[in-house]
Structure 1
């Protein structure tokens, strides 16, 4: 069994880090640590030792704490250096596609470019858990900082194909802003209206909106819905290629 803990680091860049603990072996991994202090505090509060650090991509708010954590815990660092030469030192340079074992669990490594060169996601089928970094986010997706719309759309459609019960552990608390933008794309989406109300309630109480279920993302996230007739019609792009519709949504969000 895996226990997953969301570690808020909102003072960094509205970030979330994650701890994953295999309750059978006691092994613990941290995912995407832009700062060491929140992770160390979460570990100390639970009496856990850190064995591994997993990195989805090389941006500072996801790797800035790796050196400090490594120095404090001697944890093994996993990531991929492909197209990302400014990654911190790695103990294991993962292939962009493949898998590794964490206790008794298979962790699949998925190549999901678009936001950052060499961006990967970690999918654990036995736990219905996806650690998506800044590729797929709650009601959003990452900006196209180093990639193209084609790359990101391919990445998102790949993630969308995972089981709907998959829980998406994404890297930022951007959900309220994403929700308000989503409403400009599909104002008549009943599932989206209900989700916006829930997000507003959670944030008013200071509670995280991450993780979210993939099924909910498929029903409400405009970036996953660029190929649906309702979204194309709303954008007056009924006959446009799916990727062109996605690019238009991304461009509108960038201006929002």
Structure 2
């Protein structure tokens, strides 16, 4: 198996642009800003081989043009949207092969309608998921275009992946997400342990991501809307009793938006 090196490139105030490297070449995921990417590629003597885009927001696509000027004819993979720099359009169920690895495309609408994720099942040492702004460490993306039901379905697709999948999200929102999660589930012991661990990482200037899917299933309230503790907490907060999981999710997302 070809070993991949996956590293974060910090951008803006809290974005992570992911660099997947092998043998002097790099795949860049969601380059919102070309400047830190070009600096990273130069420092590590990497040639850009491909760009993967999860959705159309500027902080994920803003650097494409400059990167392609530096590396002409770079394939830019992305969803069906109006971003003109994408030259290879993808749909749910598609697969591409880069660096000898099959990369599966999963449609995950909710944050935006065009949102897709990239899943590498044979990545080592564990499967890898590049999920943009759909699933965050301890949280999920705001519903700018999609519905709560769409996002719940999207997170359900992610939750069905192997538990050891490494989740590479696009923002360092973890501590604020976990503060909210603690309000929702104050008795969740795994969550308390996670807060301590991730607080320590940030104090040392280290990223809290990637996170493991198994940990999200234990501590992320947006992945736990079927759990009685989360449902009871949401119903206590909501103005009416939610009976269906999609309503639990919708009210949980609104609660987080106002938090």
Normalising by structure 1, report the TM-score: 0.94
Distance 2:75 2:136 in 1: 26
Match of 1:7 in 2: 9
In structure 2, the residue matched to 1:19 is: 19
Whole-Å Cα distance in 1 between the matches of residues 202 and 108 of structure 2? Answer: 29
Distance 1:60 1:145 in 2: 14
User: SS where residue 21 of structure 1 aligns?
Assistant: strand
Unaligned runs of 5+ in 2: none
Report the equivalent of 1:29.
27
Q: For residue 118 of structure 1, what is the aligned residue in structure 2? A: 114
Q: Does 1:107 align with 2:103?
A: yes
Q: What's the counterpart of residue 40 of structure 1?
A: 38
User: 2:148 — aligned with what?
Assistant: 149
Offset of residue 235 of structure 1? 2.5
CA drift at 1:132:
0.3
Structure 1 stretch displaced more, 146-155 or 69-78: 69-78
- After TM superposition, the structure 1 stretch with the greater mean CA deviation from structure 2, 115-124 or 68-77, is 68-77
Aligned equivalents of 2:88, 2:25: Cα separation in 1: 17
Distance 1:227 1:130 in 2: 23
Deviation of the 1:73 alpha carbon: 1.5
User: 1:188 maps to which residue?
Assistant: 187
Q: 2:242 and 2:150 mapped to 1: Cα distance?
A: 21
- What is the alpha-carbon distance in structure 2 between the residues aligned to residue 120 and residue 202 of structure 1? 29
Q: Distance in 2 between matches of 1:233 and 1:121?
A: 31
Deviations 1:167-204 (A, max 9, x none): 00000001111010110100000000010111111111
Unaligned stretches of 5+ in structure 1?
A: none
TM-score (norm 2): 0.93
1:166 aligns with 2:165: yes
Q: Which is further off, 93-102 or 177-186?
A: 93-102
Distance 1:54 1:6 in 2: 14
Which whole-Å CA distance do the structure 1 matches of 2:64 and 2:202 have between them?
Answer: 28
Aligned residues: 249
